[in-house]
Chains A and B, each alone.
Chain A
Amino acid sequence: MTEQSQAYQKLAQDHIPKPNYLKNTVNAFWVGGLICVVGQVFNNWFIAQGIAKSTAGAYTAITMIFIGALLTGLGVYDEIGKVGGAGSAIPITGFANTIVAAAMDFKAEGYVLGMAAQMYKIAGPVITYGITSAILAGLVQWLIWR
């Protein structure tokens, strides 16, 4: 960067408002915490129905994905996200939100190359990095513990 650019960026810093860290973090905490409590309610209910613990976890995830997807379709999830931020983006409901939001948005560009291709715009990287790191990490774990 040139000297002039550096001087300008320094001057600009004094004018740039900072996010309200405390408020945002507190909001993320209770919104995210509440979503986890809802998940816990479903999880306990599935277990009470006599479903095995590991299966109940998957059922809970699927139920929460359904809820996240539905609330996105109804236009509610982005309103929750304005308040919750990471609190509603990081739970699995937020993962469902990225898929439905992108898929709805790109319907106009067609059902194949628009909707179906673009629905992974944000979820795709999560799946790609998740699978790649899972294979590497699982392999390392196996090599150590087998």
Chain B
Amino acid sequence: MDYLIAFVVGGMIVAIGQVIFDTTKLTMGHIMVIYVVTGSMLTALGIYDRIIQFAGAGASLPVSNFGYVLTKGVYEVLLAEGWAGVFNGVFQLAGGPIAAAIFFGFIFALIFRPKA
């Protein structure tokens, strides 16, 4: 069952992006930015947490989840440290994936070349 929900919810989240892409002149870069910022705002409103609880990877694989983990990290550290911790939490949860993206990006770019 969780696979079906992940498929449907994940599919719907990205399908919205496709509609934006096809009906506007925005590039995929713009749309990814929109998703991250939207994910961040939905997190602050307490909505994204619920979507993840319901849809699992259907909500945690789209890049909007990046906004979620960044924001959740900021919030959690603010709870623990107060004002002084406002910049300390961003990478609390998102650090691993960002480090992986940079590391694998670098390594694979060293190994491979663009194909024709």
Contact = CB atoms under 8 A, between A and B. Distances in A.
Chain A complexes with chain B: yes
Nearest to B100: A62
Interface string B9-34: 11111110111111100001101110
A141 B75 contact: yes
Interface in B37-74: 37, 40-41, 43-44, 46, 56-58, 60-67, 70-74
Nearest to A88: B14
B29 A122 contact: yes
A28 B14 contact: yes
Interface residues of B, number: 74
Main secondary structure of the interface of A (DSSP, over half): helix
Contacts of B29: 98, 122, 125-126
A115 B109 contact: yes
A137 B10 contact: no
B27 to A, nearest CB: 8
Contacts of B57: 36-37, 39-40, 42-43, 60
